Structure 1
Amino acid sequence: MIFPPLFFDVMEHLAVHLPYEALLRGPVHYGWMYQYERAMKYLKGKAKNLAMVEGSIIAGSLTEETSHFTSYYFAPNVRTRQRAPKRYDDGGVAPTYAVAGVPDIFSQIGRMGGKTKEVWWSSDEDAHSAHTYILLNCEDPFMRYFESLFVSQVQEAIPGISTSEVDKRKDRHFIKWLKSQVEYEDPDYPIWFHELVQGPLAKVTTSPMYFSRGFTFHTYEYGKHRATSNYGICVKGETDFYGILQEIIEVEFPGLLKLKCVIFKCDWFDPVVNRGVRFNKFGVVAVNGGRRYNKFEPFILASQADQVSFLPYPRLRESGISWLAVIKVTPRGRIIGGEEPPLQEEHINEVEEPEQQMEDILLIDPHNHEYEDLPDDTTDDAVEDEFNESDDVSSVEENDDVSE
């Protein structure tokens, strides 16, 4: 048999070989060699002795596997390659103090990142506002008692004073009044309370980044030229506040305990609905980028902040107002569960079972071929049902027979 030269062209046989290979292989990615080529490149990197390539690869692989498996027996505080922290790692360990009863705001889990600096307070007003905010957000019975005592004294001194005026006086005079009420080294109060009342140091530690609860916070100056915006802040409450993170400050109180607390200085948008904040029919929140909160309350605790991102809308020709859509940021490495449990409620299982009586049970004898007429929907003994149309249908049929 003579085969012409064109018969040996590979293209003539692809119609047979390719379907056969697909039948044997399955999906196309099972025939790829990329992963094996990458693995060979990784193994060739272990060949330090070119005279004995195979033995050098085996020795390097054994060393790597030995170090890998033995690392699981190290103490938890030993950092290994397998335990390398993530970029958003917050340290995972809360600060501890030598005495008990220290409020939780001084045991926040978080880690400052970037280049830290020690600076003075930018103004006395900032130092006073930060100290007041820490005192009023300290969940402690002593502090709650003095706060309620201050409010009652103001209301007695000025009858009919409004709540907003009480809050203003609290912001201005609560620290000075509290120092006059608590004598220094009074044994009736714990040591941390005395250190907290005396106020923070004049120098604070600032940083451009802060990692906490799966969030990565950046100050506006640090992140304004980056592709990602990590400086949006949201504080949930009776009125939700949205703002821009300006400074990350670690406040330290002098004394034996050296209490430390991380606070955020923010620039807030106007929280008034339909003026500074609006909601559309799809539930999307938007803030007016041209309006700011007129009250001086720039500080919040780092543990109170959630991260959001502000995205500009397309330019509106009919309006010059710049609205920004609020996008909630999901924390990394965390699973946020729903507010309602996925299982059915427990009260369903508490429904009592109906009591069965013997006279209501019909016993059927399989050997008895006699039957008894039972009332159903088609007999006269049936219970009237407003949704049963059998009577109407039968009456219509009788009328049709009469008409015929």
Structure 2
Amino acid sequence: MSVVQVGDLEGMMKWMFVNYFKRKGHTPESIDLAIDMHFAEWFRLFVLTEENGVTNQLLRTLAWGPTEKATSWPAYFVNGYKFHTVAHGRGKATMNSGICVRGSDPNDPSSNFYGYLKDIVQVEYSGSTMKMNVVLFEGDRFDPQTGMQVHPLYKLVDVNCKKLYRKYDPFVLAQQAIHVYYCEYPSMKKNMVDWMAVCETKSRRVIDETSKENDEDDAIPYQVEEIQQAFAVNIEEQIPSLFDQTVSNPKPPTYLHRGLPPIRVRREADRSLAQPRFASP
């Protein structure tokens, strides 16, 4: 089972829980408090009660709760992004600890949550028939009410690094996170010192359509479809020989076979001239 299915099923069960309290006439504030205080216990009892007829093994495994075994990681690659915790990325040239969780409206940035990644935790669920691992991101979020502002026309998002979300809700599924980085403003004005611009990075698994089209155009080989005039080549003429016809089978000197330089033989007259001369007594 994938973690995406875990998020979908958890959202479905939470929807059932919220609708139950809405039918009872509870206010949104009391429903939020009930989710924090009683949803986990209600989920376990609802799924494990045989009369409710829940047979999905993934839900039943989640209802048993995680084991005491957990693993912490300093980095994690998911959704085409490389994430680093704040401690692991400290001192590096790039920022990989910024995270964003999309809200209910993907076209409205004001419904998103932005924050820093503090820890990456892998928990293990062990039910009666299956086992699975779920990766969670733990981090600090910026307050969406007082710590975030969105430009009404260009939809650019700024966050205030000193306005954090006070509600304790630090965990999100790793598959829900996208990577962002925060850029400080160069202005030294007092009202802009604590504000940072949010820049969303592109996932590695996303292919730019423009570059893809350019690659396809470059891949088309150049080819001349029609030849206006073909050049004739006359091969009937006899090609002249490249060898000298005046010498037939010349024999190389003997010394070339032995690999020695030629020896000059002196004549007798030359020998007499070469004898040393001594004075007569």
TM-score by length of 2: 0.63
Match of 1:163 among 28, 33, 56: 28
The answer to whether structure 1 residue 138 and structure 2 residue 36 are counterparts is no
Retained in 2: the 8 A contact 1:290–1:321? no
Mapped to 2, the partners of 1:166 and 1:303 lie a distance apart of 26
Task: Tell me which residue corresponds to 2:126.
Answer: 254
Match of 2:150 among 271, 279, 294: 279
Mapped to 1, the partners of 2:68 and 2:19 lie a distance apart of 32
Task: Tell me which residue corresponds to 2:239.
Answer: none
Retained in 2: the 8 A contact 1:185–1:194? no
Please state how far the C-alpha of 1:166 moved relative to its aligned partner: 0.8
Mapped to 2, the partners of 1:253 and 1:265 lie a distance apart of 18
Distance 1:306 1:169, change over 3 A: same
Q: Deviations over 1:180-208 (max 9, x none)?
A: 33437887513332221010112211111
Distance 1:162 1:325, change over 3 A: same
Distance 1:183 1:215, change over 3 A: closer
Task: Tell me which residue corresponds to 1:326.
Answer: 198
Please state how far the C-alpha of 1:173 moved relative to its aligned partner: 0.6
The answer to whether structure 1 residue 213 and structure 2 residue 79 are counterparts is yes
Retained in 1: the 8 A contact 2:48–2:54? no
Task: Tell me which residue corresponds to 1:362.
Answer: none
Mapped to 1, the partners of 2:44 and 2:156 lie a distance apart of 46
Task: Tell me which residue corresponds to 2:98.
Answer: 232
| 1:69-88 matches, cutoff 5 A | none
Match of 1:154 among 18, 21, 30: 21
| 1:217-366 matches, cutoff 5 A | 217-238=83-104, 239-255=111-127, 256-272=129-145, 275-280=146-151, 283-319=155-191, 321-336=193-208
Cα root mean square deviation, aligned? 2.8
Mapped to 2, the partners of 1:267 and 1:279 lie a distance apart of 20
| Partner SS state of residue 43, structure 2 | helix
Mapped to 1, the partners of 2:91 and 2:18 lie a distance apart of 46
State the AA in 2 paired with 1:138.
Answer: D
Please state how far the C-alpha of 1:284 moved relative to its aligned partner: 3.1
State the AA in 1 paired with 2:176.
Answer: Q
Q: Deviations over 1:18-46 (max 9, x none)?
A: xxxxxxxxxxxxxxxxxxxxxxxxxxxxx
Retained in 2: the 8 A contact 1:279–1:286? yes
- Comparing 281-290 with 193-202, greater Cα deviation is found at 281-290
State the AA in 2 paired with 1:212.
Answer: V
Task: Tell me which residue corresponds to 1:105.
Answer: 3
Mapped to 1, the partners of 2:44 and 2:34 lie a distance apart of 15
**Paired residues, number:** 201
Retained in 1: the 8 A contact 2:4–2:175? no
Gaps of 5+ in 1: 1-101, 108-133, 339-404
Retained in 1: the 8 A contact 2:73–2:120? yes
Task: Tell me which residue corresponds to 1:202.
Answer: 68
Higher helix share: 1
Retained in 2: the 8 A contact 1:106–1:259? no
- The answer to which structure, 1 or 2, has the higher relative contact order (CA under 8 A, 6+ apart) is 2
Distance 1:284 1:192, change over 3 A: closer
**Rg bigger for which structure?**
2
Distance 1:163 1:211, change over 3 A: same
Please state how far the C-alpha of 1:149 moved relative to its aligned partner: 4.8
| Partner SS state of residue 150, structure 1 | helix
Retained in 1: the 8 A contact 2:47–2:54? no
Distance 1:284 1:106, change over 3 A: closer
| 1:117-136 matches, cutoff 5 A | none
State the AA in 2 paired with 1:276.
Answer: G
| Partner SS state of residue 151, structure 1 | helix
Mapped to 1, the partners of 2:23 and 2:163 lie a distance apart of 37
| Partner SS state of residue 131, structure 2 | coil
| Partner SS state of residue 259, structure 1 | strand
Task: Tell me which residue corresponds to 1:174.
Answer: 39
| Partner SS state of residue 130, structure 2 | coil
What percent identity do the matched residue pairs reach? 32
Retained in 2: the 8 A contact 1:201–1:254? yes
Please state how far the C-alpha of 1:336 moved relative to its aligned partner: 4.9
Distance 1:310 1:254, change over 3 A: same
| Partner SS state of residue 17, structure 2 | helix
TM-score by length of 1: 0.45
Please state how far the C-alpha of 1:265 moved relative to its aligned partner: 0.8
Task: Tell me which residue corresponds to 1:46.
Answer: none
Retained in 2: the 8 A contact 1:241–1:271? yes
